[in-house]
Chain A
Amino acid sequence: MDYGRPALADALAVEYVLGTLRGGARRRFETLLPAHATLRAATQAWQDRLLPLSVAVDPVPPPPHVWQKISARLDGATPAASTTAEPGGAWNRLSFWRGLTAFAGVAVLGLAALLANPRAVPPPIVVVLAATGAQAGTAAAPSIVASISGDGNTLVTRPIVPVAAGADRSLELWAVPTQGPARSLGILAGGSGTVALRGNVMAGVDTLAVTLEPPGGSPTGLPTGPIVYAGKFSL
């Protein structure tokens, strides 16, 4: 399905906000949201329309022990610690990725060699996107890691250093083929995203790039802003 189609996005978003989208469909919708600007915009619009209806509900004070439990659970957890660093071990450690990219050069890793079982599902392909602004002679800083699942259906990105576009800009991820125009893979909020790879969006692609775009993504469907991160790979 093409989630960029406004009519489909609107139909899904209204069911999501109203609450009639349930179960697997609801979870699927939530995984698609971060990477699809059209879906997010439609969802936001329906939230703006419908959620204020909630003001009519008579307040019901919760019993005091609810706050006591919340308060007990917050002890020892600060917002900063939990939002900037998920407990992800090596995945999130900069030194790990620095070592990896230094070793890999082009920044392509097929993890097949690490797997003993030849019948295993094809390994994911890891692409490291480096900042493009580096001066000649200095190493480009690895900034975002993208992992393409072995079956080629999903791409997940994670920032390994803080990545921000500024309040009035969005970071948009592109699949760049050796020939022809770049194809949008969606918006990366803070460098994180999950993309369902549909059709042959990755055909002939040898580069992933992130550009700075107006809020919500490129208005033209093609990159309009500067490339801020990029990484090459081979499928």
Chain B
Amino acid sequence: MVTNATDWSERSLDLSRLLSRASLGDRAAFGTLYERTSAHLYAVVLRINRDRAQAEDILQEVYVNVWRAASSFDAAQSQPLTWLTRIARNRAIDSLRRDRTQPQIQSLGTSAGGTDPEDDSVYDTVADSAPGPLDLLSRASDARSLDECMEQLSALQRQSVALAFFHGLSHAEIAEQLRQPLGTVKSWVRRALQTLKDCLQGAVQRDAARAGD
């Protein structure tokens, strides 16, 4: 396993300190923050936008933004890596919005009609050595002890959620990828997330009850 939940929380305090120093204009602290987080954010961006040149530009925008907005980070409200990931994901998703209107990637879009079933699938265009979205989900669930919650989802529900979350696919793109009707995919995703939410809330309540003993 590459990362685990303990690393995640241990890093938080450290990253919070670096962010608050950066907000005061400390460039060295910002450099350290970049060293410690850029490989993670680059990977997150690269999964959503697989064009390396664009992903590099997005990463650049993300960190310029982080430098400018560092003072708005509130450690009481969110974990620093979550905050950074949110900024990176939003930039990457926005880049798709612009990009997918361009002709060369239309086969990924919603224009179902002329699509050859043998066209490169999204999986094929992801680097072969990279773990698939389902591997990622199971690793992440190790990290958060979510096995139980993830098990409550059907394989197709899990796959739909993973394609949306890790690869930035829209409902229509997932429907095309899995060759399922759009309405079906939408309801899988909706039900999957509801299940996840209920299950996570249950887990939190059990933890709280245990802590109260």
Contact = CB atoms under 8 A, between A and B. Distances in A.
Interface of A: 14, 18-20, 22-23, 26, 44, 47-63, 65-67, 69-71, 73-74, 77-80, 82-83, 167
Contacts of A60: 39, 42-43, 46
B108 interface: no
19 contacts: A18-B189, A20-B189, A48-B82, A51-B85, A52-B8, A53-B137, A53-B140, A53-B165, A55-B5, A57-B43, A57-B166, A58-B2, A61-B38, A62-B59, A63-B56, A71-B31, A74-B64, A79-B23, A79-B68
Closest 7 CB pairs of A and B: A59-B39, A56-B139, A56-B140, A53-B140, A60-B43, A62-B42, A56-B136
Given A77-B68, A79-B24, A82-B68, A18 B161 contact: yes
A80 B56 CA distance: 26
Given A61-B39, A61-B42, A19 B93 contact: yes
Contacts of B42: 59-62, 66
A66 B72 contact: no
Nearest to A82: B68
Given A22-B170, A63-B56, A83 B25 contact: no
Most buried by A among B7, B46, B48, B193: B193
Contacts of A167: 76
A49 B63 CA distance: 24
A19 B89 contact: yes
Contacts of A57: 40, 43-44, 47, 136, 166
A119 B196 CA distance: 55
A26 B93 contact: yes
A26 B97 CA distance: 10
Contact of A73 (B22, B60, B82): B60
Contact of A59 (B43, B85, B93, B96): B43
Given A51-B86, A66-B38, A73-B64, A59 B77 contact: no
B165 A18 contact: yes
A19 B60 contact: no
A19 B44 CA distance: 13
A54 B56 contact: no
Contacts of A70: 34, 60, 63-64, 67
B70 interface: yes
B3 interface: yes
A188 to B, nearest CB: 14
A96 B124 CA distance: 59
Contact of B25 (A61, A66, A69, A80): A80
A229 B22 CA distance: 32
A164 B34 CA distance: 30
A18 B186 CA distance: 12
A185 B166 CA distance: 36
Nearest to A23: B97
A53 B135 CA distance: 11
Contact of A66 (B2, B24, B56): B56
B3 A56 contact: yes
Contacts of B23: 79
A10 to B, nearest CB: 9
Contacts of B7: 55
Given A56-B135, A62-B56, 5 more contacts: A23-B97, A59-B39, A61-B38, A65-B56, A79-B23
B130 A58 contact: yes
